[in-house]
């Protein structure tokens, strides 16, 4: 009831103010000498004008209430599934601007066809560039290998190289043209006193570096450490083989290939330092790699009389093909027999 009384008092005050304004705007001199009927008619006209003005004001207030009701309804807490974030004042616009239509640019069909053609050419070129070449990279243990007798195989030898050195060298190389990458490194790390944990961490970094620089269809092969005179590398080979199992890589066991029947290093495959291969040891190393990856070019490299890889047939001391005592076939020695 008190609210209704307040509204009525406000309406009355508004009406009185309106009458006062009208009375000020009216010139009283023009009503002098008017008859009673004319004055009544003038009063009725003023009342009708006052009613029209009050109705206009009420319509405006109703529209304002409707507009505010819309905004209140949209911010109803019961309809919100998440809290409403407070807007930043810097992003608010004080003036209303018409929305700008976003123009979407469409490429012509011939341009799209040209782009597809270019992409297809790039993929074809990348596929053609990834050939069936092989890379053998490692320390100076590979220095006795002659690339001229190998089929599509590159040899990269770094004297005294450690795992970190090979990793840095690989990061500088373009490995996208190789299908198989053989890693031969780690012996110098063990000889320098690195622990097996450090060896594993460094070789893991080497594998990641090789994977990041080569194609996705490239095979990374880890060649095990052959026995050395200065240090025992048997435990290191176990670590490398386990690491290859984790990464799904091929591991070539070289350690057993250079051991004698008494489980000692076979010095017949090494030079006087007991670390690097002689011609016989190099031939066995190449044969071991060739059993996994075909790197040998038999027509131009291996001797047709004895099967040795360190000389050609024309310079062989045997004048004819010798007989293998294992398979009774001719053209190779027993140590090169694959039977």
DSSP for 261-306?
TTSSB-GGGB-TTSSSB-HHHHHHHHHHHHHHS--B-TTTSS-TTT
Is residue 139 within 8 A of residue 188, CB to CB? The reply is yes
Segments in the chain below pLDDT 50: 68-107, 112, 115, 118-120, 122-129, 339
Is residue 166 within 8 A of residue 137, CB to CB? The reply is yes
Is residue 223 within 8 A of residue 137, CB to CB? The reply is no
Integer-rounded Cα radius of gyration of the chain: 48
Angle at 316 between CA 307 and CA 320, to 5 degrees: 75
User: Whole-angstrom Cα distance, residue 328 to residue 338?
Assistant: 12
User: Whole-angstrom Cα distance, residue 119 to residue 106?
Assistant: 19
Tell me what pLDDT residue 21 has: 62
CA distances from 109 to 56, 105, 117, 119, 235 (A): 60, 13, 12, 15, 63
Q: Which domains does the chain have, with CATH numbers?
A: 125-301 (3.40.50.1110), 302-339 (no CATH)
Q: What share of the chain is helix, strand, coil (3-state, %, to 5)?
A: 50, 10, 40
CA distances from 88 to 114, 157, 214 (A): 46, 63, 49
Is residue 145 within 8 A of residue 282, CB to CB? The reply is yes
Q: Which residues contact 111 (CB under 8 A, 6 or more apart)?
A: none
Is residue 205 within 8 A of residue 158, CB to CB? The reply is no
Tell me what pLDDT residue 7 has: 61
């Amino acid at each position: 009831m008190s609210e209704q009384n307040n509204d009525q008092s406000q309406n009355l005050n508004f009406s009185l103010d309106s009458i006062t304004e009208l009375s000020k705007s009216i010139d009283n001199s023009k009503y002098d000498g008017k008859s009673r009927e004319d004055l009544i008619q003038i009063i009725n006209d003023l009342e009708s004008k006052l009613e029209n003005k009050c109705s206009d004001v009420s319509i405006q207030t109703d529209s304002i209430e409707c507009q505010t009701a819309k905004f209140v309804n949209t911010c109803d807490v019961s309809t919100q599934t998440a809290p409403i974030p407070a807007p930043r004042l810097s992003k608010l616009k004080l003036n209303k601007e018409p929305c700008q239509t976003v123009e979407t640019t469409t490429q012509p069909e011939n341009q799209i066809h040209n782009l597809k053609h270019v992409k297809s050419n790039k993929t074809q070129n990348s596929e053609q560039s990834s050939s069936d070449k092989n890379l053998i990279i490692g320390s100076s243990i590979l220095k006795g290998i002659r690339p001229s007798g190998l089929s599509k195989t590159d040899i990269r030898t770094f004297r005294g190289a450690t795992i970190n050195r090979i990793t840095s060298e690989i990061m500088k190389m373009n490995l996208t043209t190789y299908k198989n990458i053989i890693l031969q490194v780690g012996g110098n790390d063990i000889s320098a006193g690195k622990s097996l944990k450090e060896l594993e961490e460094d070789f893991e970094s080497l594998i990641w570096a090789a994977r990041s620089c080569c194609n996705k269809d490239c095979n990374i092969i880890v060649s095990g450490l052959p026995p050395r005179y200065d240090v025992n590398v048997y435990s290191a080979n176990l670590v490398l083989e386990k690491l290859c199992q984790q990464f799904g890589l091929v591991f070539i066991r070289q350690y057993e290939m250079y051991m004698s029947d008494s489980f000692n290093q076979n010095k017949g495959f090494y030079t006087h330092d007991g670390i690097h291969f002689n011609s016989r040891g190099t031939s066995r190393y190449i044969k071991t790699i060739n059993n996994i990856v075909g790197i040998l070019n038999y027509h131009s490299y291996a001797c047709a009389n004895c099967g040795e890889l360190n000389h050609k047939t024309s310079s062989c001391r045997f004048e004819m093909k010798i007989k293998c005592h294992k398979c009774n076939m001719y053209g190779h020695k027993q140590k090169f027999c694959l039977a």
